[in-house]
Structure 1
Amino acid sequence: MDSVKTISFFFFSCLSNYWMSAPEEDFSSLSIADKLQHKSWKARLQACEELTKLLHATTEDADFDTYEPFLKKLAVEPNAVAQEAGLSAILEYVANAPHASSTRETVIPALVEKCLGATKAGTKQKATDIILLYAEIDTPDPVLEFVVPGLQAKQPKLVTQTVIVIKELVRQFGAKKVSPKPILKLLPKLFGHTDKNVRAEASALTIELYRWIGQPMMASLSDLKPVQLKELEEAFSKLPAEKPKPERLIRAEQNEEMDVDEGDAFDFADPVDITAKLPSQFNELIV
């Protein structure tokens, strides 16, 4: 028996030494596309880091077209480290691609399913940031439609983060951009969820909605338990009286604001007295 233990120890020691001394595989000769499809997560991680830099710097539409088919693959990456790096690449794509909104139907459901319930906080935050950016570059309502299915998930942590995303959509873009009606219909079920974190975020979402809608939304809360309703009413009473303003503009509004704010170049020039340069007989010449 002792001899078996000795042989086993020797075998695993040799194996461990081999792993520690084995040289790192070199992926530098491979293209980004090849590395994104590589069996090694380290190759995929390297590809994500390179792709993030490329999509941040490029001005070529062809670069975005080349890597668009990989977006969903980046979101559902099985390795947690490579997945978070992949989300950075997606963020750069959505921020800079000329037609990024056309990819939301593919990317957002993948983010909801595979990222919002992730263990890594960075992954959840980046996925949230990407979803909010999709709302910014076009309009929030279609984005909301792709997020809502996350509320049907079995994992409470995924449902919780989905509620947080919906709350952020309302808070950042306002009730004029994010239609409250479909959200109000979801509240009773969220308040009845078995997970306390889901119920807590449902409460935060309801308070945010009340900031924008006020008393008219109370009819949507009639099915809540009396204790829940009482807690909400206490929170409502502490809200500031002034009407909220969106913290974030959609891209079209940003462009309009730039057009208004640009002004005329002469508005920024120092005044010059041109009469000093006119000839002395100027008044006589123009009669």
Structure 2
Amino acid sequence: MEDENEYKKLPTDEKCVHKLWKARVAGYEEAIKLFNQIDDEKSPEWNKYFGLIKKFVTDSNAVAQEKGLEAALVFVENCGHAGKTTGEVMSGIVAKCIAAPRTKTKDLALQVTLMYIEIEKHEIVEEELIKGMEQKNPKVVAACVSALHTSLKQFGNKVIAIKPMVKKIPILLSDRDKGVRDEMKALVVEMHR
């Protein structure tokens, strides 16, 4: 029992990469508090977490992953240099979160995606979502199309470029999976609008 609670003495950034999922959850919760307390968006305190943010969203434990996504969202909202993490975090979100079985995980993944677009990293976000459309898992493909649809609806075609998506229309409208076809139809309607 003594070793199980050893992790409580560790600093926050070490808890976030601990092998025990409970320790990681505690680390993410502390990180959320810490990210909300740092006043300066360019503070050197943020630097400790640049390499860890991708691990937050790709956690192997579902409960810890949800907390990690919450921490990542607060990080992107408050850190002045969060844009540097866009590529790696978005690839992790596409791979592990966007089509997760848990609804809250999917919602948080979409919120993080939209927050990256809000901090003007829309090209990288769109690129990662389009890469996600080439995956074999139809749930991931449908979720990527849905995320693009939502971002196009919220930010418009001045922010979200339509041209890269046009190439995917014939491929995804003729996909075997009904979910992928339906999501693509909704996206095409939004593109036309």
TM over 0.5: yes
Partner of 2:46: 64
- The yes-or-no answer on 1:81 pairing with 2:63 is yes
- The yes-or-no answer on 1:25 pairing with 2:25 is no
* 8 Å CA contact retained: 2:32, 2:71: yes
Partner of 1:38: 18
In structure 2, what is the Cα distance between the partners aligned to 1:24 and 1:158? 39
Partner of 2:172: 190
Alpha-carbon RMSD: 1.5
Partner of 2:184: 202
In structure 1, what is the Cα distance between the partners aligned to 2:123 and 2:54? 21
Partner of 1:54: 34
Deviates more, 1:132-141 or 1:39-48: 132-141
Amino acid at match of 2:4: E
For residues 1-287 of structure 1, the aligned pairs below 5 Å read: 25-26=4-5, 27-60=7-40, 61-211=43-193
Amino acid at match of 1:199: R
Shift of 1:116: 0.9
In structure 2, what is the Cα distance between the partners aligned to 1:199 and 1:106? 28
Shift of 1:140: 2.0
Equivalent position SS for 2:170 = helix
- Gap runs ≥5 in structure 2: none
Amino acid at match of 2:158: K
Structure having the higher Rg: 1
Amino acid at match of 1:173: F
* 8 Å CA contact retained: 1:139, 1:177: no
* 8 Å CA contact retained: 2:129, 2:145: no
TM-score, structure 1 normalization: 0.63
Shift of 1:23: 8.0
Amino acid at match of 2:67: A
* Deviations 1:62-96 (CA, angstroms, capped at 9, x unpaired): 22111111011111110000001000111011111
4+ residue stretches of structure 1 with deviation over 6 A?
none
In structure 1, what is the Cα distance between the partners aligned to 2:88 and 2:12? 21
* 8 Å CA contact retained: 2:86, 2:121: no
In structure 2, what is the Cα distance between the partners aligned to 1:123 and 1:23? 32
* 8 Å CA contact retained: 1:117, 1:155: no
* 8 Å CA contact retained: 1:169, 1:178: yes
Shift of 1:24: 9.3
In structure 2, what is the Cα distance between the partners aligned to 1:194 and 1:57? 48
- Aligned-residue identity in percent: 36
- Gap runs ≥5 in structure 1: 1-21, 212-287
Amino acid at match of 1:35: K
